[in-house]
Amino acid sequence: MSRSSIDLTAFFKLSYGLYIVSAGVGEKKSGCVVNTVTQVTAVPERLAVTVNKDNYTCELIQQSGFFVATVLTQDAGMDLIGLFGFRSGRDEDKFSQVDEAVDGNGMPYVLNHAAALFSCKVCQTVDLGTHLMFIGDVTEARHLADGEVLTYAYYHAVKKGGTPKNAPSYKGEETAAPKEEPASDKKTVWRCTICGYLAEMEELPADFICPICKKDASFFVKV
């Protein structure tokens, strides 16, 4: 079967949630946004999460043997998603910029816009090539807040967010989130091709830095 028979936009119809998965070892800690948290068995209670091998979070899960998955609420802002979805924990301390707590396994997790948390001990790791799937026994599960949870479809359609290249659901720039139409007053809009951030201005300064993913002006296109 040829690649031409695969419509990559069809994958956007699959239903996903959006989560922050985090882990830590000693003073090192990090987390990343994923849409790959799934309950795989009810007895025992087990979750699976798939994380890119290049992610710092993946490295910390391997070292610690634990991870935390927090379910994001629909009102989570692009600042939080940008911090954990498009920036690396190797370059900055993400947790210094949010409210955090530690679970019973000593793993850090984000309190901001968290609807629920699942603490897991890794019981199996599956190598998927570019990603590792961690299957974990749930050691703690808690309801943290009410409200609608954030789905991947809502993130694309309403928040106009993009998909990090390390995500298993990344489809390439040609199938990124729908572009925001320019405002009715015909103001110029520039869109970050990495995270989808929209900047409304006539000319984008050469030294402009995306406030979400921290990429420079060369990553922006006029829409």
Cα separation, 195 vs 202, whole angstroms: 20
Q: What is the pLDDT of residues 194-215, one digit of tens each?
A: 888 888 989 999 999 998 888 8
Cα separation, 213 vs 141, whole angstroms: 31
Whether residue 173 contacts residue 185, with contact meaning beta carbons closer than 8 Å, is answered with: no
Q: What is the pLDDT of residues 118-140, one digit of tens each?
A: 999 999 999 999 999 999 999 99
pLDDT value at residue 29: 97
Closest of 80, 49, 78, 41 to residue 168, by C-alpha: 49
Q: Where are the domains of the chain?
A: 16-153, 179-223
- One-letter amino acid of 205: P
How many residues are recorded in the chain? 223
The structure's pTM equals: 0.80
Q: What is the pLDDT along the chain (223 residues), one digit of tens a residue?
A: 455 678 877 776 777 899 999 999 999 999 999 999 999 999 999 999 999 999 999 999 999 999 999 999 999 998 999 999 988 999 999 999 999 999 999 999 999 999 999 999 999 999 999 999 999 999 999 999 998 999 988 887 887 776 665 555 544 544 444 344 444 456 789 988 888 888 898 999 999 999 888 889 998 998 8
- What is the CATH topology of the domain spanning 16-153? Pnp Oxidase; Chain A (2.30.110)
Cα separation, 133 vs 124, whole angstroms: 8
Domain 179-223 has CATH 2.20.28.10: yes
Q: Residue 121, class by beta-carbon neighbours within 10 Å (0-12 exposed, 13-18 middle, 19+ buried)?
A: middle
